[in-house]
Each structure stands twice: as C-alpha cells, then as structure tokens.
Structure 1
Amino acid sequence: MILTVTLNAALDVTYGVDVLRPGTTHRVSTVVERAGGKGVNVARLLHALGEPVMATGLAGGATGARIRDLLAAAGVPEAFTSIDGESRRTVVVASDDGEPTGFWEPGPRVAAPEWSAFLERYRGLLADADVVALCGSLPPGVPDDGYATLIGLARSAGVATILDADGGPAYLGIRARPDVVKPNARELSTLHSIILRRRVQIGGVSEAREAAAAVRHLGAQTVVASLGAAGLLADTGDLVLHAAPPEVVTGNPTGAGDACVAALARGLRSGRPWPERLRDAVALSAAAVAAAVAGELSPIDYERLHASVSVTELP
C-alpha cells in the first residue's frame, strides 16, 4: 500500500463568492468542507484512482474528529494518532474574478509523548507499506528533524519515501536520503538558498535544473520540481527530464502539487519508467487545477491531457 503522512492535518473549508473585495461583507454562495492537509489530499486522490492507501498523521479535538469522519465518509482508510490540541482549519475564498485567497491556521502544539506515540504507530504501519509520502508543514512541538526521523525509519524497513515539505524540515529530511523530493518553484528556491547560504530565485527551467542538481547532491535520490504552467523538471541522477502540459489549465491550483505527489507515489510503487511517471503527474496535476476543490480531479481532463503531455530528455 501507499502510506501518506500528514502531521498538520486540517479541515479545509472553501467559500465560493462572486467577487472578492477586501474590507467588505460577502454573501457566500457555496460552502465545501473536506478533510485536508497535503498528505490527506494525496490519500484521497490515490483512493479515487483505485490505489491501496492508508492516511496517517496527527489529529485532535472536534476538528480532528471531523477530519476523520470525512475521511471515513469518503472511504479513505485512516490510522491517525489522537492528540489533545485542536487540529487546524484552512479557509479558501474562491471567486469568479481572480485567484483564490487562502487563510492557514498554524496547527496545534504537539507534546513529546504524542510525537512518541505517533512514531510507534508509524513503525507498525510501515510493515504493510511499499511507499510513504511525507507531506506538508510540521505543527509546533514536532522536532525540525521529524521528517528525517520518519525517512530513516522507512529506509530501515525497506520502504520508499517521497518528501513534499518546505524550509528547514525539508532540508534536514533531504539529508536523510529520501527516494523522491517534490518541491515547487518557491520551495526549490528556498532549498537552494539554504544550500548556497545566499538568496536565489528560480526563474525558469535552467535555474530549476541547477537547483534540482544541488538538492539531489544534498541527499535526494531524485528531485521532481513542479514549475506551474511550465510543467515538471526531474533530475534522477541518470536523466534530466522536462514534462510539459499541452495547454494552460485555469482553475484552482491549490491541489495541483498534491496530485503530482499522488502520481509519483503510484509510479514509484509500480516501477513505471520515469517518463511515464512524469506524464501521469503532469496530467493529474492539471486535472486537479480544473477541479473546484483541492484533493479532487476532473477525470475527463485527466484522460484528455494524459495523451498530450510532452516529455523531453534534456542534454
């Protein structure tokens, strides 16, 4: 199975409005609630694609209970560890006249015994896992090297790992040698800046290629960078590949990165060649943008785009 880890799970609330005007009152036309957090979105997508999956992480309070209830209603298996703190909420305001606006709570503080309890459950779940996807931010109280610890435990159990995180926790996690690291352009810029100890900005495929090579040499076996409308750049050590969508897809980009991780996880589990993994990842990401809510996708767009994604090997 594919195990997804969401240490900072959230209740995602999406408000639909006609026009978003700061400083004014809005009448909300639609309200959608989803169990959220990056790993939860990955699990939901994998379940929709028919892949065997288990979602785990930390969840607490009434919000945490709601997250688990929504996963159960969606048919997604879960094995979350309960904590005393209240799980966070995220609010996205989606309007017809522009990009969605998001509000992210920081998450509950996790006590040391709660983190230890999660590690014990995680060790048990690894016994049935082929791939682990470690996704999202760390809540307060979880050590900065939390992802490094989880990657080390997975490596010891012979389980492949994908890391989708940001900043210091991502940097420390990469040094633990995950199989795949999946940053977006901003996250890749941050990682490259940490490595070089000076600020750098990713402006295109060439800069992304240089930064991906630096991240791979830090410890990642493969780096897959998502570059928005420009597609994906992958440095596997043996190959450097660029996968691009046939068209620009407009909509809600919130879940595109999670769809990419879902595709990479199932590709890693199946052993597909890298060009096929990237073609699947680009098509799934674009289909997620076309969907109204993060963690879902448009099957029609997925099938249409999959056949037209171009994958080029760079010299």
Structure 2
Amino acid sequence: MIVTVTPNPSLDRTILVGHMQRGAVHRASRVRLDPGGKGVNVARALAAADRPTLALLPSGGAEGARLAELLAPEAVPVVEVPISMPTRSNVAVVEADGTTSKFNEPGPELTASEVAALETRAVELAGRADWLVTCGSLPRGCPDDLHARLVRAGHRAGARVAVDASGPALAAACQAGPDLIKPNLTELAELAGRHLPTLGDVLRVAREVRAGGVGAVLVSLGEHGALLVTGTGAWHALSTATAVLSTVGAGDATLAGFLHEGGDGPGALRTAVAYGTAAVGLAGSRMPHPSDLRTAAVRVHEVDESLSLTGAAA
C-alpha cells in the first residue's frame, strides 16, 4: 500500500477562459472543482490504477468535508485529522493554449496538537505501507522539518519514503535521507542555489543531492520530460503531449506513475512520464486513468548533458 500525507490539501477550482488579460472582465467557458494537494493527487492517480492507497490529510470546515466528498467517487480512502480552521481553496485559470495561472491560498494555521495528531496518524499508517509519500507546502503552524520528521518516522516503521516539497522543507527533508525526492526544475534550482540551464546541470545537482544521502532523484522538467538519477545510473525520458489543457497536477501524476511501476529504474521512469504527459491533456487537476496513457510513445535516453532547458515549464 502507498500512503500519502498532504499537510496542506485544497479544493481546486479550475476556470477555463480563452485568453486572460490583466484588469479585464473574463467569462469562463467551463469551471471544474477537484480535490487538490500534491499527496491527494498522487493517491487519486494510484486509485485510478487500482493500486492500494490511502490519503492522510488535515480537514476542517465545509471545505474539508467537500474535499472528502469529492474523493469518494474516485475510490480514494481518506483518513482525516480534524482541524479547527477550514481547508484552503485554490484557483487555476487555464487559457485556451494551456497556459495556467495558479492562485494558491496559504491554508489554515494548525495548532501544535493538530500537527502532532497528523504525525501520529502518519506513523501508524506507515507501519503497513510500502511507501510513505509526504508532499506539498506546509500550512502555518507546521515546522519546516515536518517532512524530514516524517521521513525518519517512516523509516522507523519500515516504509520507504518519498518527498515532493520545495524550499526549506525540501532541504530539511533531504538531510533526513529519503528514498526518493521528486522536485521540478525550479525546486531543484532553489535547492541548489543556482540556475540550471542544461540537463547536465540538473544531472550534476541530482548527483550532489544523492551524495548527501538521498536514495534517488526524479526531476520533472515539463515539456522536457523527466530525469531520474539513482545509485545504478541516470536516464532521461521524453514524450510529446497531443494537447495541453492544464498543467495542474502533472508533476503529481508523474510521481504516482513512478511509484505505481515500482519506484525504481528506467521502466518506472517511462511510466512516470506517460502519466505526466497524460495529465496535461486532461482538464482541471484530473488524474489520468491507465487508459489515458501512451507509454509506447515515451522515449528513454541516455542523458544528453548539452540539452538546453530554457523555457522549460516544470
């Protein structure tokens, strides 16, 4: 079983418009409401593939109740940790060409007892999990090392641990030695403290991160696919989306595909990129079903270190 932890889940409202112009009045052609948050999305994609999964999240107010309601038809088992403040709502505006502008609320402020309850439940669930996947931003009240603490707790419980986070939370998590991290290009550059204009730059930083104690690094590169660096090698996988309807949740789908296929090696990387590519062809933050995948179209290469990543949307 794969258990996901999402400290800052959300209700994701996606608004489709022809073209967004600052300061103008826009008329939406369509609106979607989806359950959101990185770990929630990973669990949704896994559930769609009939992979045993469970989503752990703090839940508050009518928004939290609505989030659980939206997950029920997708057959995602949910463990809710009650909190006093309402779950946040996010908005994504998607233009006809797929350009996506996101407006994310900061989320509720968790009390010390609510944070402790979330950790306790994560530890309990990790004891029967193959993977504990801790993801996303941290709401107010959570310490920067929450993901790191969950890495250590997951390992003590016997689970492998994956982290998809950013900023100080990702840096702290790396020091705890997770089995896998899944940054995008921007997040990896922030972790490295420098610009990463080529695939070779990304490869070097991924190797530096591994040397610091991280088991494997899976970097999502938007239109440039994804790079995987493990103890046995490095591979780059690429595919082409037939249409780009929304990039929201594509990185989460990538991580789900990687874990679903075993969480290691070029075969898992191929499936990961197939998932990410399928996700951008779906409206809102919908997660792909296996029938949406075009795995045969994914090309896995040796790493071309000269490949420019200028303009990559990750």
TM over 0.5: yes
Distance in structure 2 (CA, Å) of the matches to 1:298 and 1:126: 26
Q: Secondary structure at the match of 2:176?
A: coil
- Judge conservation of contact 2:134–2:147 (CA < 8 Å) in 1: yes
Aligned to 1:253: 247
Aligned to 2:204: 210
- Judge conservation of contact 1:229–1:248 (CA < 8 Å) in 2: no
Once the two structures are TM-superposed, the CA of residue 35 in structure 1 deviates from its matched residue by 1.0
- Judge conservation of contact 1:133–1:261 (CA < 8 Å) in 2: no
Q: Secondary structure at the match of 1:225?
A: strand
Question: Which of 191, 195, 212 is matched with 1:201 structurally?
Answer: 195
Shifted more, 166-175 versus 286-295: the winner is 286-295
- Judge conservation of contact 1:13–1:33 (CA < 8 Å) in 2: yes
Q: CA 1:312 to 1:45, structure 2 compared with 1: closer, same or farther past 3 Å?
A: same
Query: Structure 2 counterpart of 1:13, which letter?
Result: R
Once the two structures are TM-superposed, the CA of residue 206 in structure 1 deviates from its matched residue by 0.6
Distance in structure 2 (CA, Å) of the matches to 1:168 and 1:234: 22
Q: CA 1:16 to 1:251, structure 2 compared with 1: closer, same or farther past 3 Å?
A: closer
Once the two structures are TM-superposed, the CA of residue 158 in structure 1 deviates from its matched residue by 1.0
Q: Secondary structure at the match of 1:253?
A: coil
Once the two structures are TM-superposed, the CA of residue 252 in structure 1 deviates from its matched residue by 1.2
Backbone CA RMSD of aligned residues: 1.7
Aligned to 2:124: 124
Query: Structure 2 counterpart of 1:241, which letter?
Result: W
Distance in structure 2 (CA, Å) of the matches to 1:229 and 1:102: 18
May I ask how many residue pairs the two structures share in their alignment? Answer: 304
Aligned to 1:13: 13
Structure 1 stretches of 5 or more lacking a match? 194-199
Aligned to 2:299: 310
Q: Deviations over 1:236-294 (max 9, x none)?
A: 0220111121567533111110011101222336xxx5111000001110000111121
- Judge conservation of contact 2:59–2:81 (CA < 8 Å) in 1: yes
Once the two structures are TM-superposed, the CA of residue 152 in structure 1 deviates from its matched residue by 0.3
Q: Secondary structure at the match of 2:94?
A: strand
Once the two structures are TM-superposed, the CA of residue 235 in structure 1 deviates from its matched residue by 1.1
Structure 2 stretches of 5 or more lacking a match? 305-314
Q: CA 1:247 to 1:116, structure 2 compared with 1: closer, same or farther past 3 Å?
A: closer
TM-score, length of structure 2 as denominator length: 0.92
Q: CA 1:219 to 1:307, structure 2 compared with 1: closer, same or farther past 3 Å?
A: same
Q: CA 1:108 to 1:210, structure 2 compared with 1: closer, same or farther past 3 Å?
A: same
- Judge conservation of contact 2:60–2:83 (CA < 8 Å) in 1: yes
Distance in structure 1 (CA, Å) of the matches to 2:241 and 2:60: 41
Aligned to 1:177: 177
Q: Deviations over 1:181-227 (max 9, x none)?
A: 1111000001111xxxxxx1111211110111111122211011111
Once the two structures are TM-superposed, the CA of residue 119 in structure 1 deviates from its matched residue by 1.5
- Judge conservation of contact 1:43–1:54 (CA < 8 Å) in 2: yes
Query: Structure 1 counterpart of 2:210, which letter?
Result: R
Distance in structure 2 (CA, Å) of the matches to 1:21 and 1:246: 28
Aligned to 2:279: 288
Which has the higher relative contact order, 1 or 2, with Cα contacts under 8 A spaced 6 or more apart? 2
Residue 278, structure 1, aligned to residue 278, structure 2: no
Once the two structures are TM-superposed, the CA of residue 101 in structure 1 deviates from its matched residue by 1.5
Once the two structures are TM-superposed, the CA of residue 18 in structure 1 deviates from its matched residue by 2.6
- Judge conservation of contact 1:133–1:265 (CA < 8 Å) in 2: no
Q: Secondary structure at the match of 2:249?
A: helix
- Judge conservation of contact 1:54–1:78 (CA < 8 Å) in 2: yes
Aligned to 2:168: 168
Distance in structure 1 (CA, Å) of the matches to 2:210 and 2:216: 6
Q: CA 1:314 to 1:94, structure 2 compared with 1: closer, same or farther past 3 Å?
A: closer
Residue 73, structure 1, aligned to residue 40, structure 2: no
Aligned to 2:23: 23
Distance in structure 1 (CA, Å) of the matches to 2:242 and 2:216: 26
Distance in structure 2 (CA, Å) of the matches to 1:202 and 1:191: 11
Q: CA 1:125 to 1:95, structure 2 compared with 1: closer, same or farther past 3 Å?
A: same
User: Percent sequence identity over matched residues?
Assistant: 39
Distance in structure 1 (CA, Å) of the matches to 2:273 and 2:155: 27
- Judge conservation of contact 2:242–2:281 (CA < 8 Å) in 1: no
Residue 230, structure 1, aligned to residue 224, structure 2: yes
Q: Secondary structure at the match of 1:259?
A: helix
Query: Structure 1 counterpart of 2:82, which letter?
Result: S
